[in-house]
Amino acid sequence: MLLVVDVGNTQTVIGLYESDDSPELIDHWRIATSAERTADEYGLMFEQFLAQRDLVLEDAVTGLAVASVVPRLTATLRRMSARYLGFDPVVVGPGVRTGMPILYENPKEVGADRIADAVAAYDLYGGPTIVVDFGTATTVEVISAAGEYLGGAIAPGIEISLDALYSRAAGLRRVELAEPPASAIGRNTTESIQAGAVYGAVAMVDGLCLRVQDELGPCTVISTGGLGSLIAPLSSTIQHHEPWLMLHGLRLIHRKNTPEVT
């Protein structure tokens, strides 16, 4: 079986596939990202997750693919794989085959998460395509009709923006963003913050996507990431929401970097 691990700045998402040839996501888990976590802690957590399905980690898992934006945890997961699985993981980064030309001025600057999103989006929808990932940062990835990574935009994520608001404005309190606000006109402080955060994010994303399409022409627009399910229905440009887009991309990248058994 194949484990895929998306290490973000705030959360880490783990997915389980039958193999890198099988598109069905069997199970998934989400944990808080902690740079202090050790290789043994990861090994124990993976063992516990797989035990929910009566699977034994070292017996069941034959492949591991990782996209990480936390270098310290990239090294930790390499050590975990060596000790508990007995093989090296496929870690998205320089030297790893993705099948997608990276037309950034310096391709090494493109985060592993952005590449995995782009690879998955092109596999599912072709191009030209825009991916909006609502993570710690809100990122916009642009893929050409020929399947080239063209670049994109990076903006503060919704939760980062709210954290900055709370820390700088003493009279404002934290609010929940579980559902779309009933109106863009808040009738109290909580509703006003919710309206500003949610509809402000919608306006920013739609504005960026329309500007990209002014330059590139009509594109398929996909959202993913933690708050994507909240924003996508309110957007006039997002056409598809794919919550497990990055896991799909990691599976594809693992397949490109693993020799076929004959």
| Catalytic residue numbers, as ranges | 113
Q: How many whole angstroms separate alpha carbon 8 and alpha carbon 81? A: 19
DSSP letter for each residue of 118-150: HHHHHHHH-SSEEEEEESSEEEEEEE-TTS-EE
Q: Phi then psi for 20, rounded to 5 degrees?
A: -75, -5
How many angstroms separate the Cα of 176 from the Cα of each of 91, 180, 197? 35, 10, 11
How many angstroms separate the Cα of 2 from the Cα of each of 95, 149, 155? 21, 26, 32
Pairing mode, strands 220-225 and 240-241: parallel
Q: How many whole angstroms separate alpha carbon 130 and alpha carbon 152? A: 9
Residues 6+ away with beta carbon under 8 Å from 51: none
Q: Where are the alpha helices (DSSP H) in the chain?
A: 39-51, 57-60, 71-80, 112-125, 158-168, 189-216, 228-231, 245-256
Cis (ω within 30 of 0) for the bond into 218?
no
